[in-house]
């Protein structure tokens, strides 16, 4: 690209920052910008020279994204910045840094503490927590002190901490880094030789996240590298697939890089919805969409939360429009389904977008809210961030996923161990098993603390959810509709595209697999 040999580059957000190619003529931005500053950075890739304007073409993918693009352009016009605030420094990264410092040479804990707190994200780190992290690096920092003799770093008579063996430095170098890759598998196209046998040869098309493949059953089709493939199975660390034809292959999802809509843009979108005068600048179909919404349901005012309920198919839906970003909505969805379950409204799933949240179930949600069983005020009460949140998090796979990356970054679990090199698919021990034991026996361990802090800030966006619940208190409007509203269409389209979270317990899946065996035994498979 820098040499000018490529006509175009298709990229993810990886090229947002730090790329200085002078001769990019145009940025084509597909989808929603998620933040005004982010959009400015992206557009700035074009004509990356001080004296020339940058040019970009925005391609919003649905009607809400049109509003979001508009809000981002207005923000850029005003010069508003909405870069997210810097989060407090993570303890798992600190643990890795401390071990790295010890590998470089002996350190004095007091001197190093002063150096660490001079870094902005760690400015509020207290000495006691710092010392707990030192202890963690040395022996795991457990209440039960049984690993003293295996310590990785030790404090000498001179008061300095140093590594106990050169091997520690060797292991550190093998595992250094704070980017935790999702486990990947090669995709190989094989020829079907019949009877479930596949040729050994065939092209490797590239790598795909194991997480996506885990959800496929043999015979499922998916789109990869421009081809429609049929999933046949996994052999060692390769996905075996065959070419096929299908109109509705699954589209691989990648777990990384889902930034939530910035609070600044969310406020802009809410303001645009509430003020008809602002619709003039919108494309005709988008303005019409809002006008029909006004007739069929209602458009919420800036500080209101609109909740619509309606039946569709054999299910009853509730769609809420908080505009707080996908992460906060997912958390809200988990907590709401718990509450609806307790109210015996039999929720069976939910899906979240950056703008809205749809929950569905088997009981008439609209009727229940109208009768106050429960009322929407009770359902959306801030007290959901207490016990409900705690109980859900403790059993959530999200926390386990977060623990895995904390365990790898902090050095508790090593990706690579000399002499025990595994295929990229697995670390040396399952972090889920370690999580279960630690959560039960020492739930206030420093690494659990790090995991909760990471999850609350990153994956769950609790602060934002809390601010939203406070904002809408006493300002929830409910519309009972006989059918889907125009505003609900974008989130309803997501159903089926996204994995449905919540509702179904793992044991249901096991029971159905066991029932399948009964059917097979009865001869009607």
- CA–CA gap between residue 493 and residue 487 (Å, rounded): 11
Residue 142 has φ and ψ, to the nearest 5°, of: -90, 155
Residues touching another protein, count (CB under 8 A)? 53
- CA–CA gap between residue 376 and residue 479 (Å, rounded): 11
Least CB distance to another protein at residue 403 (A): 12
| C-beta atoms surrounding 291 within 10 Å | 14
Nearer to another protein, 136 or 317 (CB): 136
Nearer to another protein, 115 or 512 (CB): 512
- Rule CB under 8 A: choose which of 2, 147, 256, 383 binds another protein: 147
Taking CB under 8 A as the rule, does residue 524 contact another protein? no
Identify the bridge partners of residue 476 per DSSP, sorted by sequence position: 305
Nearer to another protein, 434 or 477 (CB): 434
Taking CB under 8 A as the rule, does residue 238 contact another protein? no
Taking CB under 8 A as the rule, does residue 142 contact another protein? yes
Taking CB under 8 A as the rule, does residue 522 contact another protein? no
Interacting positions 349-368 with another protein (CB under 8 A): none
SS3 label, residue 21 = coil
Taking CB under 8 A as the rule, does residue 275 contact another protein? no
Nearer to another protein, 115 or 504 (CB): 504
Q: Which stretch binds another protein (CB under 8 A): 22-30, 78-86, 289-297, 423-431?
A: 423-431
- Rule CB under 8 A: choose which of 128, 506, 522, 524 binds another protein: 506
Taking CB under 8 A as the rule, does residue 428 contact another protein? yes
- Rule CB under 8 A: choose which of 167, 243, 371, 425 binds another protein: 167
For residue 477, give the H/E element and its range.
strand 476-480
- Rule CB under 8 A: choose which of 23, 108, 214, 382 binds another protein: 214
Radius of gyration (Cα) for the chain, nearest Å? 26
Give the distance from CA 61 to its chain's centroid.
20
- Rule CB under 8 A: choose which of 111, 225, 430, 463 binds another protein: 430
Quote helix, strand, coil % in the chain, to nearest 5. Answer: 45, 15, 40
| C-beta atoms surrounding 159 within 10 Å | 10
Least CB distance to another protein at residue 406 (A): 13
- Rule CB under 8 A: choose which of 111, 445, 484, 491 binds another protein: 445
Give the list of residues 6+ apart from residue 281 with CB closer than 8 angstroms, or none: 70
- CA–CA gap between residue 16 and residue 145 (Å, rounded): 47
Interacting positions 482-501 with another protein (CB under 8 A): 499-500
Taking CB under 8 A as the rule, does residue 504 contact another protein? yes
Taking CB under 8 A as the rule, does residue 253 contact another protein? no
Least CB distance to another protein at residue 516 (A): 5
Taking CB under 8 A as the rule, does residue 422 contact another protein? no
For residue 184, give the H/E element and its range.
strand 184-189
Taking CB under 8 A as the rule, does residue 421 contact another protein? no
Tokens of 427: 């670390």
C-alpha triplet 128, 132, 137: angle, nearest 5°: 150
Taking CB under 8 A as the rule, does residue 124 contact another protein? no
- Rule CB under 8 A: choose which of 23, 55, 276, 512 binds another protein: 512
- Rule CB under 8 A: choose which of 128, 295, 433, 470 binds another protein: 433
Q: Which stretch binds another protein (CB under 8 A): 5-13, 138-146, 188-196, 259-267?
A: 138-146
Identify the bridge partners of residue 361 per DSSP, sorted by sequence position: 316, 347
Q: Which residues of 328-337 are buried (b: 16+ CB within 10 A; e: fewer)?
A: bbbbbbbbbb
Taking CB under 8 A as the rule, does residue 417 contact another protein? yes
Nearer to another protein, 87 or 497 (CB): 497
SS3 label, residue 323 = coil
Tokens of 277: 């005068």
Cβ–Cβ under 8 Å, residues 319 and 481? no
Taking CB under 8 A as the rule, does residue 516 contact another protein? yes
SS3 label, residue 181 = coil
Nearer to another protein, 136 or 321 (CB): 136
| C-beta atoms surrounding 292 within 10 Å | 13
- CA–CA gap between residue 104 and residue 98 (Å, rounded): 10
- Rule CB under 8 A: choose which of 234, 298, 456, 489 binds another protein: 234
Taking CB under 8 A as the rule, does residue 210 contact another protein? no
User: Which of 291, 93, 79, 80 minimizes the C-alpha distance to 177?
Assistant: 93
Q: What secondary structure does DSSP assign to 218-247, as a single string?
A: TT-EEEETTEEEEEEEEETTEEEEEE---S
Taking CB under 8 A as the rule, does residue 144 contact another protein? yes
Cβ–Cβ under 8 Å, residues 258 and 268? no
Nearer to another protein, 203 or 422 (CB): 422
Nearer to another protein, 21 or 142 (CB): 142
Taking CB under 8 A as the rule, does residue 511 contact another protein? yes
SS3 label, residue 316 = strand
Taking CB under 8 A as the rule, does residue 57 contact another protein? no
Taking CB under 8 A as the rule, does residue 372 contact another protein? no
Contact residues: another protein, CB under 8 A: 136, 139-142, 144, 146-147, 150, 152, 167-168, 171, 214-218, 233-234, 412-414, 417, 428-430, 433-434, 436-438, 440-442, 445, 499-500, 504-514, 516-517, 520, 525
């Amino acid at each position: 690209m820098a040499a000018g040999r490529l006509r175009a580059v298709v990229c993810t957000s990886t090229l947002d920052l730090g790329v200085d190619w002078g001769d990019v003529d145009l940025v084509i931005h597909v989808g929603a910008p998620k933040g005004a500053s982010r959009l400015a950075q992206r557009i700035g890739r074009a004509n990356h020279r001080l004296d020339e304007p940058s040019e970009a073409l925005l391609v919003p993918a649905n009607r809400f994204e049109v509003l979001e693009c508009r809000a981002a352009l207005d923000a850029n016009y005003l010069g508003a910045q909405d870069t997210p605030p810097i989060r407090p420094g993570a303890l798992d990264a600190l643990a890795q840094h401390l071990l790295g410092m010890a590998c470089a040479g002996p350190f004095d804990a007091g001197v190093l503490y002063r150096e660490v707190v001079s870094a902005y994200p760690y400015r509020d780190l207290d000495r006691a927590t710092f010392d707990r992290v030192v202890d963690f690096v040395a022996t795991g920092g457990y209440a039960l002190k049984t690993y003293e003799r295996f310590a990785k770093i030790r404090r000498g008579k001179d008061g300095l901490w140093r590594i106990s063996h050169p091997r520690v430095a060797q292991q550190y170098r093998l595992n250094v880094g704070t980017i935790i890759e999702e486990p990947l598998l090669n995709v190989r196209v094989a020829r079907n030789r019949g009877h479930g046998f596949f040729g050994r040869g065939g092209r490797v098309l590239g790598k795909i996240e194991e997480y996506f493949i885990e959800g496929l059953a043999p015979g499922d089709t998916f789109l990869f590298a421009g081809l429609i493939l049929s999933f046949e199975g996994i052999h060692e660390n390769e996905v075996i697939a065959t070419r096929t034809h299908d109109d509705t292959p699954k589209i691989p999802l990648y777990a990384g890089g889902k930034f939530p809509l910035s609070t600044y843009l969310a406020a802009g979108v809410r303001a645009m919805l509430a003020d008809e005068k602002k619709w003039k600048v919108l494309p005709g179909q988008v303005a019409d969409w809002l006008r029909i919404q006004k007739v069929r349901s209602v458009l919420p005012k800036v500080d209101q939360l609109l909740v619509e309920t309606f039946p569709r198919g054999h299910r009853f839906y509730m769609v809420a429009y908080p505009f707080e970003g996908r992460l906060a909505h997912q958390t809200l969805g988990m907590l709401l389904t718990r509450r609806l379950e307790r109210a015996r409204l039999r929720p069976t799933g939910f899906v979240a977008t950056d703008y809205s949240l749809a929950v569905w179930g088997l009981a008439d949600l609209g009727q229940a809210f109208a009768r106050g069983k429960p009322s929407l005020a009770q359902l959306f009460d801030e007290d959901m961030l207490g016990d409900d949140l705690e109980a859900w998090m403790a059993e959530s796979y999200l926390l386990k996923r977060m623990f895995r990356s904390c365990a790898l970054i902090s050095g508790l679990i090593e990706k690579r161990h000399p002499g025990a090199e595994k295929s990229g698919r697995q670390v040396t021990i399952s972090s889920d098993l370690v999580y279960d034991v630690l959560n039960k026996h020492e739930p206030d361990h420093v690494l659990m603390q790090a995991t909760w802090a990471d999850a609350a800030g990153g994956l769950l966006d609790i602060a934002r959810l809390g601010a939203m619940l406070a904002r809408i208190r006493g300002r929830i409007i409910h519309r009972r509709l006989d059918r889907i509203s125009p505003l609900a269409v974008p989130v309803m389209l997501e159903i089926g595209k996204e994995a449905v979270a919540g509702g179904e317990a793992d044991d249901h899946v096991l029971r159905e697999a066991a029932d399948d065996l009964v059917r097979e035994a009865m001869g009607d498979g």
